[in-house]
Structure 1
Amino acid sequence: MILKLIANTRSTSLKQRVNGLLNYIQNPENTRTQNLSNYIRQPFASQPAWDEDALLEKCVYANSRNFLDDDPEQQKIEMLQTASLNGRVEDPIVHLVASFKKFEVPTVPQIEQQIDILLRHLNAEALQVQYAMHLDTDNAHYHVVINRIHPFEKNQHQQHKCVNLGDGWILNALHRSAAEIEATQGWRSEPNPMFIYNRRTQTIENNPAYMRTPDTEKLPVPILDRASRHQQPSTLQQEIHFAKSYQQYVETTVQNILRRVNGWAEWHQALAEKGLSFEKKRNGAVFQLKTYSEQITFKASLFCQKQA
């Protein structure tokens, strides 16, 4: 399984963020801007159980924790009020997604156990949480929305405490959670995991065989997502895999495209299909390839002469 942190790329107010996320996960018909509780909960907000007649619907199971009210609409108000109790924190709302391999679908008890494990590793067991399972794609997945502001504990400034998820190592906490969930529930693990679960001691340990991937060899997020959804490497992923480095990949790609294109429009289109862009810079030009965490820039002179 894959546990992913969804970055907040929108500069919205706290109210828009809370309402937007909770509406988004409850209501599949609404947009992200307006709606992340409705999106994950509809059409079964009042019925937290599987429905075999509705497996094609977006949301088949939804639940929440640490709210005073069971009504999703009241929970939105409650989460917003709690999130507002610490004015020093600009964005206390965290959005996570857990995704499974094709044909892997957890049961309701398994989902609840997974949430137990996830919240324990994140130190979020006392925080407000909403979550819901979706079956609208080839891969079963569920969304989790967490409010980091503690509902009753306060800090030294007498404001409600903002919990540092995973003690500040949230991505490690997600990898640890995935390792424990996969081992205890029998799901297939992703290749090259950072952590492994020791069944004898029932603890999470560093994977001694883990190989860290340099940023320059990481693939752009859309490519990784596409490969994850289809459970097979994309064509571009395979091409890059067989290249020794990104630079070799860019060089081979550029030379092949130069041989067959006859105009600017065709040039840019062919590069875009290979995950590349070309831009003039001062007296020269650059090629750019966006990786998982950054955009790598190469001087065009590395791969072709000015005359090209």
Structure 2
Amino acid sequence: MIVKKIRNTKAEKPKAWQIGDLVDYIRFPHNRNPREKIEYADGRGFLSATHTGQKVEMIALARESVHSDMPVQHWMFSWQEGEQPTREQVEEVVDMFLEKMGLTGHQTVYGVHYDTDNYHLHVAVNRTNPETGKVVLPFNGLDIQEAHKLVAHIEGRQGWASEENSMYAVLENGELARRRTAREIKPKQAALDFEHATGEKSAQRIAQERGHSIIKDAQSWAELHEKLAEVGLRFEKKGSGAIIFVGEKAVKASSVDRAFSMGKLCKRLGEFEEGTYPDALGKIAPEPVSSVNLEAWKMYQEEFAGGPKRAGTAGNAELSRMKERHRFERKKALSHLAKYGLPVLNIARHCLMAQQRAERLSLRSGRKKVRGGKPRFENWLRSRGMEKEANCWRYRAAREVKRNAPPPAERREKGAEPMRELADFRKYADAVNAERYRVTCIKMEEDGGKKTFILDKKGGMTRGFSPDELEAHIPEMLRFQKRGENIYYTPLSDDRHHILIDDMTRDSLKKLQEDGFRPAVVLESSPGNYQCLLTIPRQGTEFDRDVGNRITERLNREYGDKKLCGCIHPHRAPGFENRKPKHRREDGGYPQVKLLFAERRECGKALALARRIDHEYAEETEKRKAERRTFPMPDFWPGDPASAYYAHLENIRRHLTIEDYSRVDAMIALRLRSNGHSRENVEETIRTCAPTIRETQTGRNWQRYAERTADYAFGPAGDRDLERNERYRELWRKIERTEEKEQRIRMK
């Protein structure tokens, strides 16, 4: 999942025009692009329920912000191909976005489009506060960073796939972690688009592959020019910058690497010196960007070798003929309508112009040419019935990763030299007996801060590594350790709990064993500090996750870290170093995490505790089902709206699981209005009764809360929802009549 903050490229237009155009596009994208469809759209924070009314409201409120040229922001969330969010999930994304940005209650228009293979959500939100009229600046303008954090939370909550190079990830314990990756030198997006379209290496990629190391390691201008000439490249100064010629194509040197700008190179190599290059440096033959469909790509290149200009000319000629035909149609059709007057003539002109514009757009989109007049490689394959090859090309990245990955046997042979870390992992994995292992790398800063990322090349947040896969990554983990990283393992299994007891002393470890608990693994994470893992099977009930968390919490409260309460939790990797700054020795080294004990076994006492906790959960669930939760309800007179409030609350509880009490209050307010209660009575009832049903008290302004709830129930949104729920209104009246009868019986 990705998020983008869409830049405003039409700042010269009036504010009202920009907002109106954006809202129209979100709700009616097919008016701008016939191929773009709307899946779902809605709005929030408006009095009006119509599209035009909401647009006028947003424009009117935005005009109040005289100090902001454009208070309405445009955001986009996009899901991966094959993922399709439901309406409830879209609403949840909007809820989380507005809450994260501090814009809850602001005017918002949003819609889900599917003009491509990816569903994407457009959100237009007015940063002008509807109550104060002031413009809110989320996170002082640094909101894109927070939006990436929000995407990680959405992925973790709704289960969407993460992008391979996403900035943040949510760990198993719910903690948000920053992914730290080494800076990768790769072409810019425009060059990548060209490569995807043609299958041919871009000039930027060739310059990076052939010239990056040369320019980086050069000690003088003469050496730089000489070695670049050997690989067919040429470096020249242009204005105040520098360019690299790849054959006849020029590439900005700073696009190859930011360190290769003319200013930075001059600081390193001195004042620029011109180089001498042989005349033999000429055009570089096209090179394939991928080995997928290599033979088909060669056929594609041969077919269009030397013919791009003719293909482009043919397309332009066809477009010219169409324009000539359109001029003739306008002249012939409109000449007969002049006698009906200017209004009719203008209508005909407009309709004919729209029809001809759509025809020209269809011609241009149907050709789908790329630079040089070639059709896209994927389209060329499909036009020849090579659907399988076209799909292979579309998803070539995954095939190349799979093709280039050596099998586990080969990996072990290449890493045959003995490694302490590898040996310790094998003993540890045999004892823990987990299905997969998450590897987490954390760098500790001197000021107490930390930077975290997960070593998972597949991009998924819950997959982890199999033991063979993890062994293949041991050398990479050692490189991370040299860079200052702390290495952690998290065992993951579908049918077993792996209970971590952290931060133990020698005495607490001894007491744990004396009390009958049998750990599978015992680690000395630092001198005098211990960690241990207990393995027990899952019970296979609906309470498995809660049972694991409760056991972890109880055992850690008694023997280890009193703050640890999550069953799935990372721990120090045996064999690697504990690189916390406080453990640094005088010689600059760090203590090793020692594997003191490793034996595959299940802890019988922990299993008995798990069964007891599971039984407690089952009994508590049955008790909740048998005894309905009641709320404090004083003796009200019949017909009192407060009595009706609790009656409706009980009815809602019988049919729904209450997660959001604000939504429940809105539902009750709408029912009270439907049954004839006045706005004043509804507002006072919400103010009085709403705080009594909350399990924890908050510092909320209940008077303002009651006013907002009554505004909804008696406003346009309430009118609309009453119409939608017309079939339930008799049931709502029956609920209050039943309550009145019960009140009379109690009074007697």
TM-score of Structure 1 vs Structure 2, range by shorter chain: 0.5 to 0.7
Q: Is the Cα contact below 8 Å between 1:17 and 1:93 reproduced in 2?
A: no
Q: Is the Cα contact below 8 Å between 2:108 and 2:123 reproduced in 1?
A: yes
Which structure 1 residue ranges, 5 or more long, are not aligned?
32-38, 44-55, 155-159, 259-266, 278-286
Paired with 2:56 and 2:136, the residues of 1 have a C-alpha distance of 20
Aligned to 1:75: 54
Paired with 2:31 and 2:48, the residues of 1 have a C-alpha distance of 23
Paired with 1:68 and 1:16, the residues of 2 have a C-alpha distance of 21
Paired with 2:52 and 2:69, the residues of 1 have a C-alpha distance of 23
Aligned to 1:7: 7
For residue 82 of structure 1, report the CA deviation from its aligned partner.
Answer: 0.8
| Aligned residue identity for 2:29 | P
For residue 6 of structure 1, report the CA deviation from its aligned partner.
Answer: 1.0
Offset from partner CA, 1:246-271 (integer Å, 9 cap, x none): 9869x97996477xxxxxxxx89963
Cα pair distance change 1:113/1:302, threshold 3 Å: farther
Paired with 2:256 and 2:7, the residues of 1 have a C-alpha distance of 17
Cα pair distance change 1:87/1:57, threshold 3 Å: closer
Cα pair distance change 1:220/1:30, threshold 3 Å: farther
Equivalent runs, 1:49-88 vs 2, <5 Å: 58-88=37-67
Aligned to 2:249: 271
For residue 142 of structure 1, report the CA deviation from its aligned partner.
Answer: 1.5
Paired with 2:125 and 2:273, the residues of 1 have a C-alpha distance of 47
Of 143, 163, 177, the match for 1:206: 177
Equivalent runs, 1:25-174 vs 2, <5 Å: 25-31=26-32, 58-152=37-131, 154=132, 160-174=133-147
Equivalent runs, 1:218-237 vs 2, <5 Å: 220-222=188-190, 226=193, 235-236=201-202
Are 1:194 and 2:195 matched, yes or no? no
Local SS of the residue matching 2:129: strand
Cα pair distance change 1:72/1:193, threshold 3 Å: same
For residue 306 of structure 1, report the CA deviation from its aligned partner.
Answer: 8.0
Paired with 2:229 and 2:28, the residues of 1 have a C-alpha distance of 42
Cα pair distance change 1:199/1:120, threshold 3 Å: farther
For residue 89 of structure 1, report the CA deviation from its aligned partner.
Answer: 1.0
Paired with 1:253 and 1:78, the residues of 2 have a C-alpha distance of 64
Higher strand share: 1
| Aligned residue identity for 1:97 | M
Q: Is the Cα contact below 8 Å between 2:207 and 2:256 reproduced in 1?
A: no
Cα pair distance change 1:88/1:187, threshold 3 Å: same
Q: Is the Cα contact below 8 Å between 2:233 and 2:246 reproduced in 1?
A: no
| Aligned residue identity for 1:23 | D
Cα pair distance change 1:168/1:244, threshold 3 Å: farther
Aligned to 2:406: none
Paired with 1:106 and 1:269, the residues of 2 have a C-alpha distance of 47
Aligned to 2:397: none
Q: Is the Cα contact below 8 Å between 1:240 and 1:246 reproduced in 2?
A: no
For residue 171 of structure 1, report the CA deviation from its aligned partner.
Answer: 0.9
Offset from partner CA, 1:56-84 (integer Å, 9 cap, x none): 75211111111111211111111011111
Paired with 2:233 and 2:158, the residues of 1 have a C-alpha distance of 48
Aligned to 2:745: none
Local SS of the residue matching 2:29: coil
For residue 245 of structure 1, report the CA deviation from its aligned partner.
Answer: 4.5
Cα pair distance change 1:68/1:290, threshold 3 Å: farther
Q: Is the Cα contact below 8 Å between 1:99 and 1:141 reproduced in 2?
A: yes
Aligned to 1:179: 152
Paired with 2:8 and 2:56, the residues of 1 have a C-alpha distance of 20
For residue 132 of structure 1, report the CA deviation from its aligned partner.
Answer: 0.9
Which structure 2 residue ranges, 5 or more long, are not aligned?
217-224, 235-244, 266-271, 280-748
Paired with 2:148 and 2:200, the residues of 1 have a C-alpha distance of 24
Paired with 2:39 and 2:2, the residues of 1 have a C-alpha distance of 20
Cα pair distance change 1:95/1:271, threshold 3 Å: farther
| Aligned residue identity for 2:48 | D
For residue 234 of structure 1, report the CA deviation from its aligned partner.
Answer: 9.1
Paired with 1:10 and 1:16, the residues of 2 have a C-alpha distance of 10
Cα pair distance change 1:199/1:268, threshold 3 Å: closer
| Aligned residue identity for 1:28 | P
For residue 30 of structure 1, report the CA deviation from its aligned partner.
Answer: 4.3
Superposed CA RMSD: 4.2
Q: Is the Cα contact below 8 Å between 1:193 and 1:210 reproduced in 2?
A: no
Local SS of the residue matching 1:162: coil
Aligned to 2:505: none
TM-score (norm 2): 0.29
Local SS of the residue matching 1:97: strand
| Aligned residue identity for 1:87 | V
Paired with 2:31 and 2:214, the residues of 1 have a C-alpha distance of 42
For residue 25 of structure 1, report the CA deviation from its aligned partner.
Answer: 2.1
Cα pair distance change 1:222/1:166, threshold 3 Å: farther
For residue 189 of structure 1, report the CA deviation from its aligned partner.
Answer: 0.9
Paired with 1:254 and 1:83, the residues of 2 have a C-alpha distance of 61
Aligned to 1:261: none
Offset from partner CA, 1:18-61 (integer Å, 9 cap, x none): 01211222333445xxxxxxx8xxx9xxxxxxxxxxxx752111
For residue 177 of structure 1, report the CA deviation from its aligned partner.
Answer: 1.0
Q: Is the Cα contact below 8 Å between 1:96 and 1:144 reproduced in 2?
A: yes
Higher RCO (CA 8 Å, separation ≥ 6 residues): 1
For residue 99 of structure 1, report the CA deviation from its aligned partner.
Answer: 1.3
Instruction: State percent identity of aligned pairs.
Output: 27
Paired with 1:199 and 1:269, the residues of 2 have a C-alpha distance of 51
| Aligned residue identity for 1:19 | G
Q: Is the Cα contact below 8 Å between 2:29 and 2:36 reproduced in 1?
A: no
Paired with 1:128 and 1:148, the residues of 2 have a C-alpha distance of 8
Paired with 2:162 and 2:274, the residues of 1 have a C-alpha distance of 39
Paired with 1:77 and 1:269, the residues of 2 have a C-alpha distance of 56
| Aligned residue identity for 1:6 | I
For residue 221 of structure 1, report the CA deviation from its aligned partner.
Answer: 4.5
Higher helix share: 2
